Amino acid sequence: MNGLILGGAYALISIGMTMIFGIMNISNFAHGTLYMLGGYCIYFLSTVYGQSFFLAVAISMFIVGLVGIAIERIVFRPVYGGPVLNDLLIALGLTFFLENGALLLWGSQTKSVKTPYTDVILHLFSVSVTLQRVIVLVASLVLIAALYVFLNSTRFGKAIVAASQNPRGASLVGIDLTRVYMVTFAISSGFAAAAGALLAPIFYVFPTMGSTPLLKAFVVVVLGGMGNVQGAVVGGFLVGIAESLGGAYISSDYKNVFSFIILISVLLIRPQGLFGKSQSS
């Protein structure tokens, strides 16, 4: 059950990363900081300003979505089409800038977010979980479903899918790639923020909270095939479950090691991921 809940959140974070990779061919190492910003947004909105939890999650997504658009414009646009090394370096620079900016502005002490749902315990199929955890799972599934509908049934969603399949072809048939990039970054950042906001009441909010989810997201994205949205969803749940089983039966100190073992084995055996097409090279 814990695996499923973590899996839902991992899927949310990974979808954004895999979309950016699929469309812009950029692996966003700064993705974890957007998750962190989501956490701080929910802290200020719901704990400090007393907004209701769901409204606060929605506003967090919106704010961080705008931040994502700004990041795409200012930071990533200069490195499009350059060597992979430059996107990695610039994203790493951005991560340090934002993480330490958060540290300076909001301090290093962890902040906890209280919601009315953290104390309610539900009994489902002989397992007891808090309502908050169920909300995380349900909200992730709703967001994923909404994205699925958006990508498959709206005109702009289809344009995004087209751009991810073949950017040049898409721009030839009149799709505005600049707008596609902007919206993709906004969605991706919003989803990362949603994950951060939803998990904030369960974990804590602190400046470097994004680094572990970032690693997990990479494992998920590689497992699902880079650029593959369905792969990211399935991969998210697989990694979440594998981790909670490994943590429960083997050792919880080294929980992160299990994801790393998954990463190395995927790279060795099936580098294109579970659902990816094989590399043409």
Partner 1 sequence: MKGFLEKILPAFFILFAFLIPVLTQDTYYQHTLNVAFLFAISVYGFNIITGITGQFNIAHAGFIGIGAYVSALATTKFLLSFWIALPLAILVTGIFGLLIGYPSLRLRGVYFALTTLGFGEILSLVFENWIPVTGGPMGITGIPAPTAIKLPGGISFAFDSKIGFYYLCLIFMLLSIYVNRQLLKSRLGRAMLGVRENEDLAQSLGISITGTKIVAFVLATMFLGLCGSLYAHYFRFISPVSFSVAETFRHVTMLIVGGKGTLLGPLVGAFIFTALPEILRSIEDYQWVAYGAILMVCIVFLPKGIVGLIKDILERLSNETVGKK
In the complex with partner 1, which residue's Cβ is closer, 74 or 120? 74
DSSP codes, 219-249 = HHHHHH-TT-HHHHHHHHHHHHHHHHHHHHH
Q: Closest separation between CB of residue 271 and partner 1, Å?
A: 5
Binds partner 1 (CB under 8 A): choice among 90, 170, 183, 223: 90
Q: How far apart are CA 77 and CA 241, in angstroms?
A: 36
In the complex with partner 1, which residue's Cβ is closer, 93 or 116? 93
Residues 6+ apart with CB under 8 A from 40: 102, 106, 111, 205
Q: Closest separation between CB of residue 214 and partner 1, Å?
A: 8
Footprint (CB under 8 A) of partner 1, residues 239-258 = 253-254, 256-257
Q: Closest separation between CB of residue 159 and partner 1, Å?
A: 25
Residue pair 105/207 in contact by the 8 Å Cβ criterion? no
In the complex with partner 1, which residue's Cβ is closer, 44 or 76? 76
Q: Closest separation between CB of residue 113 and partner 1, Å?
A: 25
The answer to whether residue 107 forms part of the interface with partner 1 (CB under 8 A) is no
Binds partner 1 (CB under 8 A): choice among 109, 126, 280, 281: 281
Around 50, how many Cα atoms within 13 Å sit in the side-chain half-sphere?
A: 0
Binds partner 1 (CB under 8 A): choice among 13, 94, 193, 220: 94
The answer to whether residue 14 forms part of the interface with partner 1 (CB under 8 A) is no
Footprint (CB under 8 A) of partner 1, residues 196-225 = 211-212, 215, 218-219, 222
In the complex with partner 1, which residue's Cβ is closer, 105 or 172? 105
Binds partner 1 (CB under 8 A): choice among 108, 248, 271, 277: 271
The answer to whether residue 54 forms part of the interface with partner 1 (CB under 8 A) is no
Binds partner 1 (CB under 8 A): choice among 85, 124, 172, 173: 85
The answer to whether residue 75 forms part of the interface with partner 1 (CB under 8 A) is yes
In the complex with partner 1, which residue's Cβ is closer, 70 or 149? 70
The answer to whether residue 79 forms part of the interface with partner 1 (CB under 8 A) is yes
Residue ranges that bind partner 1, judged by CB under 8 A = 27, 29, 75, 78-79, 83-86, 88-90, 92-101, 103-104, 211-212, 215, 218-219, 222, 226, 253-254, 256-257, 259-260, 263-264, 267-268, 271, 279, 281
